[in-house]
């Protein structure tokens, strides 16, 4: 069975940069070739909002829509509610979108590739498999 991977917006954006993390760029290419990669409506929305022009938008949309879409169902929302509550009670505030993305990855048992410190905090209260590229030096 192929690895099940969800690539967060932060990792996509870092991988698109000419000066982005080369290890992350290589992992995403390898992952797209050899793993089962999915996305979410929220990630699609965030990436499409960042398109630079009318040409890039339909190309990006087509590529993202070719991936499996993981919906935010009732189980996802319940996980997000609980994680958000527990984190806040421990003095940690996480952006709502990050809570939802983490909950989607957890609910569907996907590993989340990211470049965002918030996901490290989420893993303290939501058992989540992550691949983290925050502290890596760019090569």
pLDDT in tens, the chain (139 residues): 468 999 999 999 999 999 999 999 999 999 998 889 999 999 999 999 999 999 999 999 999 999 999 999 999 999 999 999 999 999 999 999 999 999 999 999 999 999 998 998 898 778 899 998 876 544 3
Q: Are 107 and 78 in contact (CB under 8 A)?
A: no
Count of helix runs (H) and strand runs (E) in the chain: 7, 5
- What's the whole-model pTM score? 0.90
CATH superfamily of 2-37+71-130: 5'-nuclease (3.40.50.1010)
């Amino acid at each position: 069975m192929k690895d099940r991977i969800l690539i967060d917006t932060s990792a996509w954006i870092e991988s698109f940069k000419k000066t982005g993390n080369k290890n992350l760029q290589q992992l995403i290419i390898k992952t797209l070739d050899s793993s089962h990669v999915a996305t979410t409506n929220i990630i699609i929305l965030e990436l499409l909002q960042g398109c630079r022009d009318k040409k890039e938008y339909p190309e990006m949309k087509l590529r993202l829509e070719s991936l499996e879409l993981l919906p935010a169902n009732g189980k996802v929302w319940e996980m997000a509610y609980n994680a958000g509550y527990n984190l806040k009670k421990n003095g940690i505030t996480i952006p709502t979108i990050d809570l939802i993305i983490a909950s989607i990855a957890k609910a569907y048992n996907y590993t989340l590739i990211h470049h965002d410190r918030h996901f490290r905090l989420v893993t303290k209260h939501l058992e989540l498999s992550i691949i983290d590229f925050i502290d890596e030096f760019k090569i």
